[in-house]
Structure 1
Amino acid sequence: MPARWKDPSGSADGRDVPGQPAGVAPSVRSGAQWDRQRRIRERVSAVGFLRTADLAAEFGVSLMTIHRDFDVLQAQGWLRKVRGGATAVPSAMFHGDVEQRMAANPAAKRRLAAAALDLVVPGQVVMLDESTTCLYLAQRLAERTPLTLVTYFQPVVELLAGTPGITLIALGGEYFPAYDAFLGLYTAEGVAKVRADTVFLSTTAISHGRCYHQSQETVAVKRALMAAASRRVLLVDHTKFARQGLYALAALADFDLVLVDEGLPPAEQRRLRDTGVALRVVPTR
């Protein structure tokens, strides 16, 4: 009988073994570990806060094992570790999964995507980030072929793979389920090896004239995108100006063009232009 693989944090069924030394986790998690993390993720979203000690007792594992689960889920964007447990990321700060984001302000995102499409010229090299606004743009890129498209966003890869006239360069790296994208150091290094005419990006939050995101991995990749493109275009609906973020990406003035829907108040539009932001308001009615 083949030997059962043992979780470095415990036994093969996900429970701790006394005296079992901690080790480096393999690339493939055990079924029990995966199921435990899935249940933690679902529960923290439902109740808002989970105590480390309660989870350890419920699953029959050590506090350290639950802390490692929290580390994995926090890195993927599902929760945030706090003293004594973990909390659901506040809705004003967490982007939500792809399906939720696609359903948020779809009319504004479609109009922003249409305005961005007008900036695409056949023959160009275009980069897209992991935003759903750019996913709306990706749905129409076949209208501007031939194109070379560079992305690390899995839905865009699935959408455009094999599309006639589009040369697709898919960047790898560490896969983040909460974003359905490849992010982190290896992705950023992959971006640095190519050069694009235009990069289209969005952002999670805008505050005091700066863009913010909730993960350092996202910021690292988007900064690499901005450095690798001749023209940087930001697509944002007005709701992003009412959100908060943790890690600063760039100032709005660092973009060659910022496209925003007309839901942004005129006073805020004037203020941004006065600070040097190349702002274009897209009608959405």
Structure 2
Amino acid sequence: MAHDVASVNPLPEAAPPPSPRERREQIRRRVIDEGFVKIEDLAEAQGVSLMTIHRDLDVLQSEGWLRKVRGGATAQPSAVHHGDVRHRVQAMAAEKRDLALAALELVTPGAAIMIDESTTGLAVAELLPSRGPLTVISNFLAVLKLLAGEPGVDLIGLGGAYYPAYDAFLGMQTTEAIRSLRADVLFMSTTAVTDGHCYHQSQETVAVKRALMEAANRRVLLIDHSKFTKNGLHQLAPLTAFDLVIVDAGADESQLAPLRAQGVPLKIATRTA
């Protein structure tokens, strides 16, 4: 017996291809989860051309999520790419703890503290509740989440455009918000130190950090010794622009001697681990 055409189940419609934004999000997650992925594998998985994947990786690299390398993409930090927040938190964790403990000695109850979007600053934030009451000002969402609701901590979040790769608010609105405030001390870090100057990969980061420096009575820079081996594109400031530069005990004297000669106010953090 012939089947009634109307009774035949229609074939399911094929799912529409992901939008470029959705595709890049899938690529970003895979590269971060696996550490390294070949371009050919990404193209096959997404069903697009190699050229499309190259363009996607260029966008993701410009946003700070990953680094294009020969044949693929990696989320692992290097001298020029410093990884997303998850990788940055894990890197040099013991040294960051030593720097944070040294910074904590400078905090007095009742002070207004500014913290930038660095994971070294996040290590400082973890210790601040013990020094309350304090006012803490930051554009780093991780710091805001960490201290939200902490007794004795008045929290001021600096808004603006949210940059997921940095988990932070950056841009003109952020710098304007900073200019309306005044803090007792700023704790910040930097991407790289070259020839006695701080460098960063994005202009947005530099603009916000300059505004933070201008809004603080005392500027304290916290750097672990890996910063001396990294590179950055945009110059922020000379280390002499800070009232104190705290370096971990793993820094080599050959790295520190030129800074002393330039008049950089240095302090070596005590090694605790």
Q: TM-score normalised to the size of structure 1? A: 0.78
Aligned runs of 1:3-152 on 2, under 5 Å? 13=16, 32-42=19-29, 46-47=35-36, 50=39, 55=43, 58-60=46-48, 67=55, 69-70=56-57, 72-79=59-66, 88=74, 91-152=78-139
Partner of 1:26: none
Aligned runs of 1:135-214 on 2, under 5 Å? 135-214=122-201
Shift of 1:78: 1.5
% of aligned pairs identical?
51
Evaluate the alpha carbon distance shift between residue 49 and residue 206 of structure 1 in structure 2; reply closer, same or farther with a 3 A threshold: farther
Deviations for 1:206-232, whole angstroms, at most 9, x for unmatched residues? 111111111111111111101111111
Contact 2:23 2:46 survives alignment (8 Å): no
Partner of 1:6: none
- Is residue 267 of structure 2 the alignment partner of residue 267 of structure 1? no
Contact 1:206 1:240 survives alignment (8 Å): yes
The more displaced of 102-111 and 119-128 is: 102-111
Deviations for 1:68-111, whole angstroms, at most 9, x for unmatched residues? x45652442124689xx985576122222223222222221111
Evaluate the alpha carbon distance shift between residue 49 and residue 275 of structure 1 in structure 2; reply closer, same or farther with a 3 A threshold: farther
Contact 1:236 1:261 survives alignment (8 Å): yes
Shift of 1:268: 2.6
Partner of 2:241: 254
Q: What is the rounded CA distance, in whole Å, between the counterparts of 2:44 and 2:173 in structure 1?
A: 34
Deviations for 1:99-153, whole angstroms, at most 9, x for unmatched residues? 3222222221111101101111111111001111111111111111111111011
Q: What is the rounded CA distance, in whole Å, between the counterparts of 1:137 and 1:70 in structure 2?
A: 34
Counterpart of 2:227, as a letter, is: K
Contact 2:102 2:270 survives alignment (8 Å): no
Partner of 1:225: 212
3-state DSSP class of the match of 1:250? strand
Question: Number of matched residues?
Answer: 254
Evaluate the alpha carbon distance shift between residue 192 and residue 121 of structure 1 in structure 2; reply closer, same or farther with a 3 A threshold: same
Structure 2 gaps of 5+ residues are: 1-14
Contact 2:43 2:53 survives alignment (8 Å): no
Shift of 1:50: 4.1
Evaluate the alpha carbon distance shift between residue 127 and residue 13 of structure 1 in structure 2; reply closer, same or farther with a 3 A threshold: farther
Structure 1 gaps of 5+ residues are: 1-11, 15-30
Partner of 1:278: 265
3-state DSSP class of the match of 1:148? strand
Partner of 1:23: none
3-state DSSP class of the match of 1:164? coil
Shift of 1:236: 0.6
Contact 1:44 1:86 survives alignment (8 Å): no
Q: TM-score normalised to the size of structure 2? A: 0.81
Q: What is the rounded CA distance, in whole Å, between the counterparts of 2:185 and 2:47 in structure 1?
A: 49
Shift of 1:270: 2.4
Contact 1:71 1:81 survives alignment (8 Å): yes
Q: What is the rounded CA distance, in whole Å, between the counterparts of 2:96 and 2:68 in structure 1?
A: 32
Contact 1:56 1:63 survives alignment (8 Å): no
3-state DSSP class of the match of 1:167? strand
Residue from 195, 199, 202 that aligns with 1:215:
202
Q: What is the rounded CA distance, in whole Å, between the counterparts of 2:83 and 2:67 in structure 1?
A: 14
Contact 1:130 1:152 survives alignment (8 Å): yes
